[in-house]
Chains A and B, each alone.
Chain A
Amino acid sequence: MGIDSNDEELMLEYQRGNEEALEMLFLRYKKKIFNFAYRILANRADAEDVTSDIFLTLFSQKDRYQPEAKFSTWLYTMARNASLTKIRNKKNLFSLSFLGLGQEGKEESWDPPDSKPGPVQTLSRNEMGTHVRRAIHRLPRAQKEALILRAYEEMSYEEIRKILNCSLENVKVLIFRARKRLRKELAWVIQEECA
């Protein structure tokens, strides 16, 4: 086992009792799963809850993993389901939504500041980020999930199909519709003259 081992090997290794393998999986997926949930839920605390829940499942029920499945697909499926549960449970509660929209660096003081790009660039890029977030946040849930998996997690349609538990045709439609809608909503951001 080592740094080159793929996820599946590591998971099998961990099922055999090697704790170090788990450590490595934590490292590989902590930020990814957190960001996936954050984008779906639009709430940092919830995303962190989901992330720790997922890793707790991984830790406490390691035998649930079936070696024939791709590890990342399995993990994202759990993360997606946990996020859905979170949304359902919170439905009647007032969601805190995006407190830190566009102001991430300030709100989260533990983030070390990145190297500073030129002033004009910062402004437009930051602002663009804010609008992208808002636009994605407003997508219907299924479209949002499919698009996030494609755009940010760089999953294949096949993987997305498994995670969302739907048909391939469905994945195509969801991603297409999400893009169509974003094209409309972000037209002025991407400086498209006629959308």
Chain B
Amino acid sequence: MNTHEVMKQKISVYFDGETTPAEKKEVEEHLKACISCQNQLEAFKKISFSLESWHDADPSPDLDQKLAKIKNPEESKMKTKKTKWNHRAAAAVLAGLAAVVVFRHLGDRALEEPKPPAPITREVSVTEKAIAPAAAPSEVKPDRLFFAAEALKKSEPSAYQNFSVRREALLEFSFQAKEEEVFNTENYASIQESGFQEVLKHPLSTFSIDVDTASYSNVRRFLNQDQMPPKDAVRIEEMINYFTYDYPAPQGEEPFSITAEMSACPWNKEHELLLVGLRGKEFSKESLPESNLVFLIDVSGSMDEPGKLPLLQKAFQTMIQQLDQKQRVAIVTYAGASGLVLDSTPGTEKETLRGAIQDLTPGGATAGAEGIRLAYEIAQKHFISGGSNRVILATDGDFNVGVSSEGELVRLVEEKRASGVFLTVLGFGTGNYQDSKMEKLADKGNGNYFYIDSLSEARKVLVEELGSTLFTIAKDVKIQVEFNPGKVKAYRLVGYENRMLAAEDFNDDKKDAGEMGAGHTVTALYELVSADSKETFGKIDDLTYQESKIKASGDVATVKLRYKEPEGAESRLLAKTLTQEQAAQNPSGNLLWASAAAEFGMLLRGSEFKGSASYREVLNRSQTAKGQDPSGHRAEFIELVQKAQKLDISPSEGIQFKGSAE
């Protein structure tokens, strides 16, 4: 340890008031002269203050019960077993019901009308039989809770008391949920999952890449509020692409590397899983291109909520810290009237930028279109040729003045796309969240779309991955996979439902597709049925007049990729072939993690293809594949899976009443 480190350690001791008088004097003398050490002391103070934000937790009533048993071992010994069991049973009923209420409130899943309650079992004690109906959501009515409670009252009065208090809380909750139902106007476009395609009839699978991650953070928001997300809020490809994968960096001139890998399909033993991975080239901090950014900030009345404008301000403050003289920022707001708050300013003038963001105040209705027009105008005025020109739209998406129809807005953005200005959409807030509108905007505006639910998500998008958020290295990136019918009988692309293209679109340079940011990774999974499988998919009869000849080849598939340079008009082609020999016995961490994310998405969607998928499997695999995880995103994923496992009450999953009642 060098002398400076020794001093810094002494400062830590000094901060704790544990120095000897001589050391104290030494430290204080040193501090007078050394700015670095003054900062160190300042940082220790700040850390110490921040540690206070981790408050003491209250122990649960369980602990009190345990302690009571210690004090009165005789009395509790007789009761222990029974009480415990019933207490847990009651908790299980409650948990089940709470989930049901949420479920009903979401409405998306409970498509059927609730059936009248089944005849009540006459058993006096709460047994598994009595609890079991709670697992079938469509049959449960809140009254059921009442009967369960009555049964409990007879068998175990003390547990009942505990139970009845919570029941009231729960009923109140269910009432609130009902009320909310009326006002919840969140909007999701429905997703039709694509099924298996027979290779002989459809050898080509074509889609546009999707680098958005909004769906994942939105799903997280629901789970953190102890609700299952609506089915259509779950876009599986975004679940997969939320994470960065460890693909090889591109070599030479090409802006991409392509990875193909195949292994057994975890949720269906008969099938295999093919991973197609792209990784974009990265810029070092010095070689980042110049950029011209326009923040377009929604300050309408609907943004006046803690999760919206205040979070947005914090998010942008964090981002500004990263900027330097190569980046310029302008700020445009829109509400009743749109206005230019700050004209294009270099990233080094942090105080000016910070002040402008700090002074934003909400009020008025939203005129999104006018704001978008003005923002593009400013972006074009300061256009940097060869640089990154981008409008960053931050909103809850509730446009309702001016051009309000979705179609018109989309057309406006499409029209602006030709100008070479890209669009990033940052979604904020809950309750009135217009997911489908924003995804479409970003998609049409040559852009990307993120949902910011917390400061840490803001950090991921605007700090950790700023490069890939701001710098597009390729546009209109399309992937086409050709399968070899000699090896593969059928395939299913997991997710990407909104991104499917027709086979002929692949070579059509006029067809818009997804953009790729610097250092970004994109992953797609195919579930494959091998050629020697007995499974049949034939909805169409075999052709009578044609016979397809299969070329003998050891290839499984060829992955082709088309992209354009950010300002280019003509596309370029890359290709990679995967042979049978390359199929891995042991899947890589990439494949393990991507398949875990996909499986989680399928469970949340209640996918018809989920096969043997289970939360436990997802947990096992993600635990294995977690790796270094410096940012903590993967650890968070695992937490979310555990949450969903508790909340999900679909028949094959979720709360295991048997297990929890032991």
Chain A contacts to B: CB under 8 angstroms: 19, 22-23, 26, 30-31, 34-35, 38-39, 44, 47-48, 51-52, 55-56, 59, 94, 96-99, 101-104, 106-111, 119-120, 122-134, 136, 138, 150-152, 156-157, 172-173, 175-176, 179-180, 182-183, 186, 188-190, 192-193, 195
Residue of B nearest to A101 (CB): B639
Q: Assess whether B454 is interfacial by the CB under 8 Å rule.
A: yes
Q: Which residues of B contact A182 (CB under 8 A)?
A: 47, 51
- Distance in angstroms between the alpha carbons of A23 and B51 in the assembled complex: 31
Residue of A nearest to B49 (CB): A190
Size of the B side of the interface (Cβ < 8 Å), in residues, is 57
- Distance in angstroms between the alpha carbons of A8 and B432 in the assembled complex: 59
Q: Assess whether B4 is interfacial by the CB under 8 Å rule.
A: no
Residue of B nearest to A51 (CB): B63
Binds A, one of B276-284, B307-315, B363-371, B382-390: B307-315
Known pairs A31-B59, A102-B224, A175-B12; A133 contacts B54 (CB<8 A): yes
- Once the chains bind, are B224 and A103 in contact (CB under 8 Å)? yes
Q: Assess whether B581 is interfacial by the CB under 8 Å rule.
A: no
Q: Assess whether B286 is interfacial by the CB under 8 Å rule.
A: no
Q: Which residues of B contact A130 (CB under 8 A)?
A: 456
Name the contact of B70 in the complex, choosing from A52, A176, A193 (C-beta under 8 A).
Answer: A52
Name the contact of B310 in the complex, choosing from A102, A123, A157 (C-beta under 8 A).
Answer: A123
Q: Assess whether B178 is interfacial by the CB under 8 Å rule.
A: no
- Distance in angstroms between the alpha carbons of A1 and B459 in the assembled complex: 55
- Once the chains bind, are A106 and B12 in contact (CB under 8 Å)? no
Q: Separation in Å of the A44 CB from the closest CB of chain B? A: 7
Q: Which residues of A contact B623 (CB under 8 A)?
A: 94
Q: Which residues of B contact A195 (CB under 8 A)?
A: 43
Known pairs A124-B314, A128-B50; A31 contacts B56 (CB<8 A): yes
Name the contact of A176 in the complex, choosing from B12, B59, B321 (C-beta under 8 A).
Answer: B12
- Once the chains bind, are A151 and B306 in contact (CB under 8 Å)? no
Q: Separation in Å of the A45 CB from the closest CB of chain B? A: 8
Q: Which residues of B contact A175 (CB under 8 A)?
A: 12-13, 16
Q: Assess whether B18 is interfacial by the CB under 8 Å rule.
A: yes
Q: Mark B603-641, 1 if CB is under 8 A from A, else 0.
A: 000000000000000011001000000001001101100
Nearest 7 pairs between A and B by C-beta?
A119-B306, A52-B66, A176-B12, A128-B53, A129-B53, A190-B46, A176-B9
Interface CB pairs A-B, < 8 A, 26? A34-B59, A35-B56, A44-B57, A48-B62, A51-B59, A52-B70, A56-B70, A96-B642, A99-B643, A101-B639, A109-B166, A110-B60, A120-B306, A123-B306, A126-B53, A128-B53, A129-B53, A152-B54, A152-B56, A157-B16, A157-B18, A172-B18, A175-B12, A182-B47, A183-B47, A188-B318
Q: Assess whether B381 is interfacial by the CB under 8 Å rule.
A: no
- Once the chains bind, are B310 and A120 in contact (CB under 8 Å)? yes
- Distance in angstroms between the alpha carbons of A124 and B53 in the assembled complex: 10
Known pairs A120-B310, A175-B16; A52 contacts B67 (CB<8 A): yes
Q: Separation in Å of the A73 CB from the closest CB of chain B? A: 16
Q: Assess whether B61 is interfacial by the CB under 8 Å rule.
A: yes
Q: Which of B71, B166, B169 lies at the interface centre, i.e. has the most chain A CB atoms within 10 A of its CB?
A: B71
- Distance in angstroms between the alpha carbons of A31 and B344 in the assembled complex: 54
Residue of A nearest to B223 (CB): A103
Residue of B nearest to A123 (CB): B306
Q: Which residues of B contact A103 (CB under 8 A)?
A: 224, 226
- Once the chains bind, are B61 and A183 in contact (CB under 8 Å)? no
Q: Separation in Å of the B266 CB from the closest CB of chain A? A: 17
Residue of B nearest to A38 (CB): B57
Name the contact of B59 in the complex, choosing from A30, A96, A106, A189 (C-beta under 8 A).
Answer: A30
Q: Which residues of B contact A94 (CB under 8 A)?
A: 619-620, 623
Known pairs A56-B70, A59-B70; A31 contacts B47 (CB<8 A): no
Name the contact of B18 in the complex, choosing from A23, A56, A156, A190 (C-beta under 8 A).
Answer: A156
Q: Which residues of A contact B456 (CB under 8 A)?
A: 127, 130-131
Q: Separation in Å of the A43 CB from the closest CB of chain B? A: 12
- Once the chains bind, are B56 and A132 in contact (CB under 8 Å)? no
Q: Separation in Å of the B612 CB from the closest CB of chain A? A: 19
Residue of A nearest to B643 (CB): A99
- Once the chains bind, are A172 and B13 in contact (CB under 8 Å)? yes
Q: Which residues of B contact A173 (CB under 8 A)?
A: 9
- Once the chains bind, are B642 and A99 in contact (CB under 8 Å)? yes
- Once the chains bind, are A97 and B311 in contact (CB under 8 Å)? no
Q: Which residues of A contact B43 (CB under 8 A)?
A: 183, 190, 192, 195
- Once the chains bind, are B59 and A48 in contact (CB under 8 Å)? yes
Known pairs A123-B310, A124-B455, A193-B321; A132 contacts B59 (CB<8 A): no
Residue of A nearest to B454 (CB): A127
Name the contact of B44 in the complex, choosing from A22, A55, A59, A179 (C-beta under 8 A).
Answer: A179
Residue of A nearest to B66 (CB): A52
Q: Assess whether B324 is interfacial by the CB under 8 Å rule.
A: no
Q: Which of B53, B67, B459, B636 lies at the interface centre, i.e. has the most chain A CB atoms within 10 A of its CB?
A: B53
Q: Assess whether B2 is interfacial by the CB under 8 Å rule.
A: no
- Once the chains bind, are B55 and A129 in contact (CB under 8 Å)? yes
Q: Mark B57-91, 1 if CB is under 8 A from A, else 0.
A: 11111110011001100000000000000000000
